[in-house]
Structure formats: structure tokens, C-alpha cells
Structure 1
Amino acid sequence: MANRLESQDNPRGIGKVQIPLHVKLIFPSVFVLGLVILYPLISSLVLSLFNYELTRPDEIKLNVLGNYGKMINDDVFWLSLKNTVVFTGVSLVISIIVGLIGAITLDQLPKRLAGLRGVILIPWLIPGVIVGFLFMLIFDVQVGVANVILERAGMIKEFLPWLMNDQLAGIAVIVANIWNQVPFYILMFTAGLKAIPAEIKEAAIVEGASRWQEFIHVTLPFLRGILIITSLLMIIRNFNNFPLIYTMTGGGPVYSTTTFVIYIYRLAFEQFNIGYASAVGVVWCLVLLLLSSLYIKVLSKQDSI
């Protein structure tokens, strides 16, 4: 009765805060994301300000910038940064080239062979751990297919210890990563090629443009947006690629394939140096935040065109 009188006195709900329905619907998801992402991020930031080692619980003390200053003289930190940049850069460039060639090739296939596109996408759907085990066998020093093929082709005289050599291990990991992510580029570039109006291509041919000129002046400009967005997504993915590298080499031999995520894992779960691992993680989070901001900026520009 009281609620009915209140509604009659204030029939329009004046003074009450009306929460939109879509806000109510997304609130549980936002809450879960905040719990899963925001809480660990704040915890890492707090832990990075302490000298915190699990093996020395009695020696935990506040050291605001000590862990961050330690990175300056940490050779492994800079080596992991170098490995991450090389791993990401080489994988990105080769994947773009191979993906673009593959997309153009698939675009020329007749309709009866359209099913090949689904087959080519299979490597992208395989989890990184499975890819790591697969290529660990491929590059095995005794029974690896890579050594057998290279030997029969006359390129090597004896089997190479791919995963036990500093330089060869890096090459093996990059090859596995390229194989895993090239289908994604093929998928994206194929979608971009389908979006190019046929009239523009025909006009270029009528004007006497060669296939190469058509590719440079017509195809590439239309693929520019997809290329930038896809590349940024793959940069973030490669920077955080833990399963494949850890499965194949564990970051070794020594630290030759240790990237940032591998180094953070070693600090936290092998050396139990939670404070320093958190500091490295915060620095890495800032790098990813910068890349994400760049990604959003590119998206905004594309939407405004």
C-alpha cells in the first residue's frame, strides 16, 4: 500500500536514478573482468614495490623503486627484450609476406576448390602447446623430419641439434610460430581482397596497368587498414606467446629463446622472486598498454575514413 501511494505521489519516478537495461546486462561481465584483470594488475603493482621472495618470507620489506632500478643492470632482462623484439619482428614480416601470397593465390582458385581455404586455416586453430610439441618432434636431432629433409636435399651433411643450439633454437621457434599464425593473415587478407570492387581492378587493366602495378596501386591501398590492424593484433599476441616457446625450448638453451613472458615465469615460479617478477610484469604491461592504445587509435582513424 505504501509503495502504491509513493508511486502515485511520484508517478514519473522523478529524483530516482534510472539504470539503463544494457548497463544492467553488461555489469556482471564487467565485474568478472575487473576481478580477473584489474585485481591481478593492482596486486602486481603493489608487489613490485617490495623485496618479496617466497624463500625468504622474513625479509620482505618496502623498496619502492629498487626492483625497477635493478632492471637497468639486468643482462637477462635486456636479452629477453631483444629476443622478444626479434621473435616478434621476424615472425611478423615473414607471416605478412607469406599470408599475402597465400591470400592472392586462394583468391584466384576456382569455386570448386574453395574448400582448401578451410584446410589452410587448420594450423591457426591448433593450440600453441600442441604446435610446440609438434615442432619439437620435427626439429628433433635424431628423428626430426627437418634434418631428414635438409640432408636429402644436400643442404647439411649431418643432423643439426636445432633445439640445443643457441642460434638454431631461435630459428626453430620462429618457424613454428610462423606456421601457426600465417593462416590468420591469409584469412584476413582474403576477406580484404573480396572487399575490393571489381570495377576498380577492371579500370586499372583497361588503363594499361600491369599486374604488379595493379597490386601496388590498387590492392595494397585497400589492404592497408587490414594490414595495420592485423599486424598490431599479432604483435600483442607474439609478445605474449608463452605456450609455444616454453613447450619447445623452455626459454633455452640458457636464455637464448627467453622472451619477456618466459622470463617473468622463471622469476616467479622457478626463482620465487615475486617482487622483481611483478616489476618486470608491470613494465611489460605498460608496453602492451602502449600497443593497445595505438591499436585503438588506428581503429578510430579507420572508422572516420
Structure 2
Amino acid sequence: MANWPESQDKPRGIGRIRIPLHVKLIFPAVFVLGIVILYPLISSLVLSVFHYELTRPDQTKLSVLENYTKMIHDDVFWLSLKNTIIFTGVSVVISLIVGLIGAITIDQLPQRLAGVRGVILVPWLIPGVIVGFLFMLIFDVQVGPVNMILEHLGIIKEFLPWLMDDKLANIAVIVANIWNQIPFYILMFTAGIKAIPAEIKEAVIVEGAGRWEEFLHITLPHLRGILIITSLLMIIRNFNNFPLIYTMTGGGPVYSTTTFVIYIYRLAFEQFNIGYASAVGVVWCLVLLVLSSLYVKMLSKQDSL
């Protein structure tokens, strides 16, 4: 070992490892996330290869791929996948269209009505559980205002059991979800419209282009990146939407409004089939991982433009 004179300091890095300050600062957060996210994920992967029921822990046995092959013949699994795709797809498409129209309309409002923007954002701030209870009352078969309005307009002759009919229940939860997430699109699109350079808009007006031409050739191309990113983000969010659906219907009637996240909950905490619930959760996690990767890829592509 080299003997360094006492009057001289040892070169930095000899005898100790220097940890950058930013690593020290983020380590507590990473440690907590590792416990909250990584441990349950690993546990789910392990449990997914076991036949494990909470009510019969003594009959736990290794099943390897049995839980995964069971999904192929599980009608409820495929129904929940179908419900998830319909719930997510319809919600995102309609919310996107209405949000874009709302953002363009708000952008045309005079300055004295700027407070309207804050009011429109209120639904986005309401928790999903509250939204679920609110729309459960709105679609109530006896006192719900939806039935009263439809009957008053002559559209229906008798009150409809919205939350007790398989098709109507799907419509009800989708309407509630759309109402809850439209403000997010309005907020994002409004910010995108405000970011369009005024010179470009003025040039289009000078050229004599109408509102429709301005929308197609100026507004829409500038909003393309925001449109893609917000849509992917909402797809991921809707895939995970548990509070609203469970509050309104509990996944019923029967399994008609059961999505992936609802099905996993019912398997684990109603049927206590932890092994199979973990396997379904792993598949659900893989789907979300693909969507998240796509989101990050799109976000990186947008930043590079």
C-alpha cells in the first residue's frame, strides 16, 4: 500500500466510493417504490405458478402453467378483456373528440369569460368513487334524472333499469367515465392551441382560409403530439379504472361490466383464488407494460421533434 505524506491529502476516490448527490437524494424514494411496487410484483409472479386459495392453504401446490392455460378456456377472462377494450376504446375516442371541440370553443371565448375554464375542469378533480356514487344516483331506476328527462321527452315510456341491465350498465359506466375525463383533454388541447404561434394563424387568415381549413392544416398538425400522448395516457388510466366501475355496478350485473382490474379483485377478494388472480394480474401487468412502453416511446419521439 502506498504511504502518503501526512502533509498531503489522499487523491479523491482512493479508499472510498463517492456517491453522487442526486443518487443519495432519490435513493429513499426508490427504496420505498421497491417495497411498494417491486415486492408485490415479484410475489404475484411467484403465486401465479401455484394453485393457492386463501380458504384452503393446506392444498397449495405448484401448478407452473396451469393457471395460464386455464385463462384460454375461461369465458369470464375473455369477457373481462372484451369489456376492458370496449370501456377504454369508447371512453378515449368520445372524450378525445368532445375534448377537442371543447378546447377550440373555449379558445374562442372572450377574456371576460375566462373563468369558465376553471369550472369545466371540476369533473377532473372529483375522485372516481364520488363520480361513481353521483352517477349511480343519476341513473337510478326510480329517482334518477336520466329516466325522468327521457320520459319527459317521450323517448321512453317507462323507467329503464340502467344499472341492472347488462347492456345499459355498460353505457352508464362509460358515460360516467367520459364525463370524468373530458376536462383532461380540454386542458391539454387548450394548452396546445395556445402554443400555436400567432404568426401562423395570422398568415392563414391573410390567405383567406376558413375555420375548417385552419383546423385541418394548422391546429390539428400542431396538436398531433399532444393527441397521441394524452390518448395513450388515458388508455393506461382507463385500463386501471377500478373505483368508478366498482362503485356503480361492482362489475355486474353478473360480469357484464367486469373489466380486468375488477375481475382480478373478485378472484382474489371474493373467491379467494389468489393463485389464479395473480396469473391474471401478470397478464394484465404485461398489457400495461406494453402500453406504458408505447407511451414512453411516443413521448421521447415528441421531445425529439
TM-score range, shorter chain: over 0.9
Q: Distance in 1 between matches of 2:162 and 2:213?
A: 41
Q: How does 1:156-171 map to 2 (within 5 A)?
A: 156-171=156-171
Deviation at 1:15, TM superposition (A): 4.8
Are the equivalent residues in 2 in contact too, given 1:141–1:161 (CA < 8 A)? Answer: yes
Q: 1:273 to 1:7 in 2, by over 3 A?
A: farther
Q: 1:11 to 1:204 in 2, by over 3 A?
A: same
Q: Residue deviations 1:34-82, cap 9 Å, x none?
A: 1100000000000001000111111100011000000000000000000
Q: How does 1:171-210 map to 2 (within 5 A)?
A: 171-210=171-210
Q: How does 1:1-305 map to 2 (within 5 A)?
A: 8=8, 10-305=10-305
TM-score where L is the length of structure 1: 0.97
Deviation at 1:288, TM superposition (A): 0.3
Deviation at 1:9, TM superposition (A): 5.1
Aligned length: 302
Moved over 6 A (4+): 4-7
Deviation at 1:226, TM superposition (A): 0.6
Are the equivalent residues in 2 in contact too, given 1:7–1:13 (CA < 8 A)? Answer: no
Q: Which amino acid aligns with 1:147?
A: N
Deviation at 1:201, TM superposition (A): 1.3
Are the equivalent residues in 2 in contact too, given 1:51–1:60 (CA < 8 A)? Answer: yes
Are the equivalent residues in 2 in contact too, given 1:142–1:159 (CA < 8 A)? Answer: yes
TM-score where L is the length of structure 2: 0.97
SS of residue matched to 1:46: helix
SS of residue matched to 2:250: coil
Q: Distance in 2 between matches of 1:149 and 1:103?
A: 28
Q: Which amino acid aligns with 1:90?
A: V
Q: Distance in 1 between matches of 2:8 and 2:42?
A: 47
Q: Distance in 1 between matches of 2:259 and 2:11?
A: 63
Deviation at 1:17, TM superposition (A): 1.6
Deviation at 1:202, TM superposition (A): 1.5
Q: Distance in 2 between matches of 1:141 and 1:286?
A: 39
Q: Which amino acid aligns with 2:42?
A: I
Unaligned runs of 5+ in 1: none
Q: Distance in 2 between matches of 1:13 and 1:236?
A: 45
Percentage of matched positions with identical amino acids: 85
Report which stretch shifted further, 211-220 or 199-208. 199-208
Taking only aligned residues, the RMSD between alpha carbons, in angstroms, comes to 1.4
Q: Which amino acid aligns with 2:67?
A: N
Q: Which amino acid aligns with 1:119?
A: V
Deviation at 1:6, TM superposition (A): 7.7
Q: Which amino acid aligns with 1:115?
A: G
